[in-house]
Amino acid sequence: MRSAEDRPTPTVATPQAATPRPSMSPWRFVMAFGVVSLLMDYVYEGARSITGPLLAHLGASAAVVGVVTGAGEAAALGLRLLSGPLADRSRRFWAWTVAGYALTAVTVPVLGLAGALWAACALVVAERVGKAVRSPAKDTLLSHATATTGRGRGFAVHEAMDQVGALLGPLTVAGILALTGDDYAPALGVLALPGAAALALLVRLRARVPDPVAYETSDSDEEPAPDGITAATYPNPGLPRAFWVYAAFTAMTLVGFATFGVLSYHLVVRDLVPTAAVPVLYAAAMAADALAALATGRLYDRHGARVLAVLPLLSAAVALLAFTDTVWIVVLGALVWGAAVGVQESTLRATVADLVPPGRRATAYGFFAGIMGAAALAGGALTGALYEVSIPVLITTVAVVQVTALALLWATRTPRH
């Protein structure tokens, strides 16, 4: 029995008492949100595919490109430490979501018109700030609907649709650059169309489902989640202990996870594939991402958190396969890398919703993203440095890190009562 202090924050009204039922089914809500994400990925992944060449065209050095893109990613993840708690405090999840998407939809087409390097740099960072503004609130809205559809499947379908946009955007930009002789203005300007469509659909979705918390039953935070992971709260205003252990597990998997930058560096410096083939391999990895998200999401709903054990195994396999000198094995390693990213972007997010009650969920997503960002930075630096030292040492270190991650995953599991 919980004491009054242990209960979720009182700002969340029970759906039956205060919140009207949505006018669309949970699955239709998830699918509609998936279309929004598809369209917006079309926009910002299209822009990100040519950020480096665009900045170079305006006179940036490699160091400037590295600093600007690094600052953008830091903003996209680090600022969620603020936007998550603020979204929980204000309870205006739709406002945060719309504002974040609007910032991205505006900055990308304008980026193509930037005539000065400083302006382009500011717009690149601003686009990433938009992601930081919307992500905790967006994931919270989605988490309510997935309480009915199944957390794993709901987040997996959303991620798979996301990746469709991530493929279409860069291909569209590449095609227009080829047709216009590398004119960035029309290549980025055309992305205003999917951006406007996404915002229109988002506004319509908000009108149809003003408060998605109604999808989630009033006692959802009282019931144990799959495989013993619970949303239990503690007699303090912080996040559950299980969440922090789970975040440590996630961080450990990323500390031992090579970035695609390191993988592609290996491909090029060892002359394994032509440079032009690297984007094609990346696109194939994104397809593996979508398939892995769908598969593990469905398995998570059936078998619970034990499914997440596949992530350390995939991460270890990436190092073992991707850093060989045999082309087909390296390609297989890149596909495994994509599959691991699919688990990271879908099932990991779904589990956060099972660990944290609705009243603190946006805060949890903000902290979770910040932890993932710091761990990914450490992982990229670690694997890159070890690559220069010795590939066998890199493989061994990654294996040890992933075994530690498995131990942390086991510690996240809590017994049923």
Helix (H) or strand (E) holding 215: none
SS3 312: helix
224 burial type by CB count under 10 A (0-12 exposed, 13-18 middle, 19+ buried) = middle
- Percentages helix, strand, coil for the chain (3-state, rounded to 5) are 80, 0, 20
* Distance between CA atoms of residues 409 and 79, nearest Å: 27
Residues 6+ apart with CB under 8 A from 5: 235
| Residue 123, pLDDT score | 94
Residues 6+ apart with CB under 8 A from 259: 376, 379, 380, 383, 384
How many other C-beta atoms are found inside a 10 Å radius of the C-beta of residue 125?
18
Q: Rounded to 5 degrees, what are φ and ψ at 235?
A: -75, 50
How many other C-beta atoms are found inside a 10 Å radius of the C-beta of residue 118?
9
Structure token digits, residue 73 = 């990613």
Residues 6+ apart with CB under 8 A from 192: 105, 108, 109
End-to-end CA distance of the chain: 11
Residue 416 Cα distances to 228, 229, 238, angstroms: 6, 9, 22
Per-residue pLDDT of the chain (417 residues; tens, 9 = 90+): 333 334 344 444 444 445 567 778 899 999 999 999 999 999 988 888 777 778 888 888 766 776 777 677 778 878 888 999 999 899 899 999 999 999 999 999 999 899 899 999 999 889 989 999 999 999 999 988 888 888 888 888 888 898 888 888 888 888 888 888 888 899 899 999 999 999 999 999 999 998 888 888 544 444 444 444 444 433 345 788 889 989 999 999 988 888 776 777 787 778 887 765 666 787 788 888 889 998 998 898 888 878 899 999 999 999 999 889 899 999 999 899 989 988 988 888 888 988 888 888 999 999 998 888 788 778 877 887 888 888 899 899 999 999 999 988 887 654 333
Helices 151-180 and 347-355, interaxial angle, to 10°? 140
Give yes or no for a contact between 357 and 331, defined as CB atoms under 8 angstroms apart: no
Give yes or no for a contact between 329 and 272, defined as CB atoms under 8 angstroms apart: no
* Distance between CA atoms of residues 400 and 255, nearest Å: 11
Residues 6+ apart with CB under 8 A from 415: 228
Q: How far is CA 181 from the centre of its chain?
A: 33
* Distance between CA atoms of residues 141 and 159, nearest Å: 15
Angle, alpha carbons 216-140-311 (nearest 5°): 105
Structure token digits, residue 175 = 């095609």
Structure token digits, residue 11 = 């700002």
Nearest to 338 by CA among 285, 410, 279: 285
Give yes or no for a contact between 207 and 140, defined as CB atoms under 8 angstroms apart: no
* Distance between CA atoms of residues 302 and 307, nearest Å: 9
Give yes or no for a contact between 341 and 259, defined as CB atoms under 8 angstroms apart: no
Nearest to 202 by CA among 103, 328, 286, 307: 103
| Residue 105, pLDDT score | 95
Residues 6+ apart with CB under 8 A from 44: 104, 108, 127, 131, 169
* Distance between CA atoms of residues 381 and 191, nearest Å: 33
Helices 361-389 and 62-78, interaxial angle, to 10°? 150
DSSP letter for each residue of 352-409? HHHHS-GGGHHHHHHHHHHHHHHHHHHHHHHHHHHHHH-HHHHHHHHHHHHHHHHHHH
Which residue in the block uniquely carries the two structure tokens 């039953």? 217
